[in-house]
Amino acid sequence: MKQIRFFIALAFAALAGLTSCGGPSDVKQTKNLIIMVPDGTSTSVLACSRWYKLAKGGEAELAVDEGLCGLVRSYMSDAPISGSAGAMSAYMTGLCQQSPNISIFPKANPENDFYPVDTTRTFQPHATVMEAARTQLGKATGLVVTCYFTHATPAACTSHSYSRNDDQAIGAQTASFGHDVLFGGGTKHVTPYIKSILDDNGTEYIEDDVKAFRSYNGDGKVWALFDRNDMDYEADRDPETQPSLAEMTAKAIGILSKKKNGFVLMVEGSNVDHAAHANDPVGTIGDFLAFDEAVKVAFDFAKKDGNTTVVIMPDHGNSGITIGSENYGGYSSRGLKDAYSGVVDFKCTVSALSDKLRAIKSPDEIPSVFKEWANVDITPEEEAQVRSHFDKQVTDYMNIGGSLNHVVSRILSSRTYFGFVSGNHTIEDVFLSIYSPSGKRLEGVHTNEELGRYLCQVIGLKSGLVAESDRQFSPAEKVFDGCEMSVDSSDPVNPVLTVKNGDKTMVLPAYKAYVTLNDERVDLEISTVYMKKNKSFYVASRLGEMMK
């Protein structure tokens, strides 16, 4: 009870302006903003990655080091440990959120809430920094990720849903928003419906074609997706079939930097989180270092451009990975070679090694596969475990227990001195790294919603995101008060709202950025949203005037 009262006090103090409210009063506004998120990166990953580079013969410095300036307290409105959907939604909206929501006003959870919740707005879509940058300032936008494009972090940028798992609604909203650039994974999520939206708004779509991606030099909107789901871990990536995160970041910046009003770009190192869930040190460190290469690309551009801010922060920690497991005795007198023994010999991730095992023709090949790809001599007992789990697939990347991947992870971890708290997200402050051309950065400890408000300050948004929410996403029954409304749910995934008043008829398809008024098309800034949880449409407030 004392803890709950403590957090309530903090929350109301923040609302009253008694704590730091997102940044210094003299924040340097810039034309461009690059937001970078290494998903699920515990702060300990920084040290693990620096020493790993040194153990592999490189230098210990990281690109993010140059901008390190503080910590971020990441939490939900009703839970101290964040999920990706709620954490990224807080960054994007400046409002503390819940899991598994995607950029909406949360509902009350009286037993657990320690942050004030506006119950009059429950489930209403909450406008995001990226949406307001487009609608208020005319900026170009882009997403670069290594997960599938409807995943929680990219979804929170320009989509709204009660559930992060509502891939069809999230995909349609992402497509309708008309990003100038979207690079990542998830070709299986490009349904005919989504493809029709891309065709309608003139987006060029490149699928599993790295040569076409690399040769693209157009000025229009472009998507390039690789793999049906997530892109490969960096340690397993074939550069002939998939570009690196740094390459995609450079390509995106090259396209967006041509836009006269500037741009907002979000870059996510998505697979750090996936590897941490699997307790895979090679995957975790490898993908964080790949993310760090993308940070260098962004920093180099920002320094040359002189009108770009780069803000880097994980959404939450994961697994508490660190060197110093319980079997690492005498740690203070053991050298770097000892600390990283085993892991420096791993040639692929847990996921890739599991796939290689599944592909063998005979179980007798199990020991040779471990030896070739991990330099591990497995015991007869370990081999028996592998054999008994051959047909056990991962059904949820956040919980690999009981799968072959879990067995492989345990075998490899036993040959290292890496320790893990769990395979879950963790309650910890995450790092903050910023490059600003003015040299003035947000410093100290801040909350995730304060970071959201800081992002608004950086690009100079003139009106708040709550006002933008009411402008773009008001309840249809309020906007069309006095009109006759009906819903066609013959396509339950994409329902259609019809509004009539006298001789006027307006048709509003869900998740599309246009309506028809007496059969004439009217384009919208942002698509209409249908919230399945409460079976409500949320629409642009200006449409009400058109129906009078």
Identify which of 28, 20, 133 has the alpha carbon closest to the alpha carbon of residue 71: 20
Mean pLDDT of 21-47: 86
Helix/strand/coil (H/E/C) assignment for every residue in 53-102: HHHCCCCCCCHHHHHEEEEEECCCCCCCCCCHHHHHHHHHHCCCCCCCCE
The answer to whether residue 21 scores a pLDDT higher than 60 is no
Strands 203-207 vs 221-225: parallel, antiparallel or unpaired: parallel
Domain 342-415 coded CATH 3.30.70: no
Is pLDDT above 70 for 23? no
Task: Average the pLDDT over 9-31 and give the result.
Answer: 53
Task: Quickly tell me which residue has 């009539």 as its tokens.
Answer: 500
Is pLDDT larger for residue 400 or for residue 266? Answer: 266
pLDDT, tens digit, 9 for 90 and up, residues 431-451: 999 999 998 899 999 999 999
| CA separation for the pair 191, 34 (Å, rounded) | 29
pLDDT tens readout for residues 251-276: 999 999 999 999 999 999 999 999 99
Residue 314, pLDDT above cutoff 90: yes
Confidence category of residue 540, pLDDT binned at 50, 70, 90? very high
Q: What is the pLDDT of residue 2?
A: 41
Span 18-36, average pLDDT: 70
Span(s) in the chain for CATH 3.30.457.10 = 473-546
pLDDT at residue number 400:
83
Instruction: Compute the Cα dihedral for 87, 163, 318, 428 and give only its sign.
Output: positive
Nearest to 285 by CA among 530, 499, 4, 50: 50
- Phi, psi at 343, each rounded to 5°: -65, -30
- CATH 3.40.720.10 correct for 2-321+427-469: yes
Structure tokens at 209: 């074609």
Secondary structure, 3-state, 286-348: HHHHHHHHHHHHHHHHHHHHCCEEEEECCCCEECCCEECCCCCCCHHHCCHHHHCCCHHHCCC
Q: Is the per-residue pLDDT at 22 higher than 80?
A: no
Predicted pLDDT of residue 7: 46
Split at pLDDT 50, 70, 90, the class of 115 is confident
CATH topology classification for 473-546: Copper Amine Oxidase; Chain A, domain 1 (3.30.457)
Residues forming beta bridges with residue 32, ordered by sequence position:
308
Taking all residues of the chain, what is their mean pLDDT, rounded to a whole number? Answer: 93
Residue ranges of the chain assigned to CATH 3.40.720.10: 2-321+427-469
